Chain A
Amino acid sequence: MKLTKTDWVIIFFFLILSFLIFLFFKFSFVGNSDRILMIQTDSKLYATYNLDLLKENIELDIDNPEGDFKILVSKDKVCVLKSGCEDNICKRNIIKNSGESIVCVPFKILLTIVSNKKNHVDSVAY
């Protein structure tokens, strides 16, 4: 019961690939730019928040046809507080840095943090 040499090559190839993808997304977002939270329902933009300009924590209900979906938006973290779906995978994820995202597959909701490299936008822009 041993792994062949090619097995090890495959395993290390994927580990290195994963590390490279991680590095690519880590360094494509660096710089002293603001972190912008983008909320998408399906492929449409629902709302954006500038996390670095945020004054207070916001609890936001996202309207969608499937059911309840409540998120917490604060300076140090974004997470899902309440979700109407039963598997609750999205609740296990907490994001705060640029390039990170939370995906809700059943409700088709996507929360991503991106960095803006241009001018400052307002804290809330619908």
Chain B
Amino acid sequence: MKNLKYKTKDYVIMALMVSLGIVLQIVDNMLNFIAIPGGRLGLSNIVTLMNIFVFGGLNAFFISLLRAMLGSLLYGGVSSLLYSFFGALFSVLAMWIVKSFFYPKVSEIGISVIGAFFHNFAQVLVAIATFENASLFSYLAPLTVVSVFAGTFTGFQVKLLNNKFKLM
């Protein structure tokens, strides 16, 4: 499906992926049980990583940017738009690069952990830029621990989907 043989059908599925991502993002915001502020499960990462496998990196890139923008406008408000946007940008680029160079060696779980880390890294950078205070970098320590666990969780989901439906 990477060459987009059935154009209209693919566009419809991609649009559905955007909405699926937004729904998961909203569910994610409700499930705020992680004690570390700002730590989230990153459920919409499942959709992003799945898109990289199904539609290829470039399409997944635009899907997740669209998802981040629409999702934060619908739910989080304008202030979270920058965080969402750069989080999605960094994480999808990192996952795309790692997937295309190291895929069978690094499984879905490793890719997902890297994506989760870069998502948090980008958001910390945006926070440093808005407050002009580099001490916020210390926030990356707890967030990285969260991203390892959350990334393993979401990567596991993608692996299950991949084994079941043979996305590749």
**A residues in contact (CB < 8 Å) with B:** 1, 3-4, 6-7, 10-11, 14-15, 17-19, 21-22, 24-25, 40, 42-43, 87, 89-90, 92-93, 99-103, 105-106, 108, 110, 112, 114
In the complex, which of the residues B32, B130, B141 has the most CB atoms of chain A within 10 Å of its own CB atom? B141
**B residues in contact (CB < 8 Å) with A:** 29, 32, 35, 37-38, 77, 79-80, 83, 102, 105-107, 109-110, 113-114, 117, 127, 130-133, 135-142, 144-145, 147-148, 152, 156, 159-160, 163
The minimal Cβ–Cβ distance linking B145 to chain A, given in whole angstroms, is 5
- Asked if A42 and B106 make an inter-chain contact with CB atoms under 8 angstroms apart, the answer reads no
The minimal Cβ–Cβ distance linking B56 to chain A, given in whole angstroms, is 22
The minimal Cβ–Cβ distance linking B168 to chain A, given in whole angstroms, is 16
From A14, A24, A110, B131 is in contact (CB under 8 Å) with A110
From known contacts A15-B148, A99-B135, infer whether A92 and B37 are also in contact, taking CB-CB under 8 Å: yes
- Asked if B148 and A14 make an inter-chain contact with CB atoms under 8 angstroms apart, the answer reads yes
| Known pairs A21-B137, A105-B80 / 20 extra A-B pairs, C-beta < 8 Å | A3-B109, A6-B105, A7-B106, A7-B109, A7-B113, A10-B106, A11-B110, A11-B152, A14-B148, A19-B141, A25-B138, A42-B131, A43-B133, A87-B29, A89-B32, A92-B35, A101-B139, A102-B37, A106-B77, A112-B135
- Asked if B110 and A10 make an inter-chain contact with CB atoms under 8 angstroms apart, the answer reads yes
Residues of B within 8 A of A108 (CB): 79, 130-131
Supply 19 A–B pairs (Cβ within 8 Å), ascending by A. Answer: A1-B160, A4-B110, A6-B105, A6-B106, A10-B106, A10-B114, A11-B113, A11-B148, A14-B113, A14-B147, A18-B144, A22-B142, A87-B29, A90-B37, A92-B35, A101-B139, A103-B127, A105-B127, A112-B133
Q: How far is the CA of A103 from the CA of B133 in the complex (A)?
A: 11
From B29, B105, B117, A4 is in contact (CB under 8 Å) with B105
Residues of B within 8 A of A100 (CB): 138
Residues of A within 8 A of B109 (CB): 3, 7
Q: How far is the CA of A14 from the CA of B35 in the complex (A)?
A: 19
From known contacts A6-B110, A103-B38, infer whether A21 and B131 are also in contact, taking CB-CB under 8 Å: no
The minimal Cβ–Cβ distance linking A74 to chain B, given in whole angstroms, is 20
- Asked if B80 and A106 make an inter-chain contact with CB atoms under 8 angstroms apart, the answer reads yes
Q: How far is the CA of A103 from the CA of B37 in the complex (A)?
A: 9
For B140, give the chain A residue with the smallest CB separation.
A21
From B102, B130, B140, B160, A42 is in contact (CB under 8 Å) with B130
From known contacts A18-B144, A103-B127, infer whether A114 and B135 are also in contact, taking CB-CB under 8 Å: yes
Q: How far is the CA of A124 from the CA of B168 in the complex (A)?
A: 62
For A92, give the chain B residue with the smallest CB separation.
B37
The minimal Cβ–Cβ distance linking A108 to chain B, given in whole angstroms, is 6
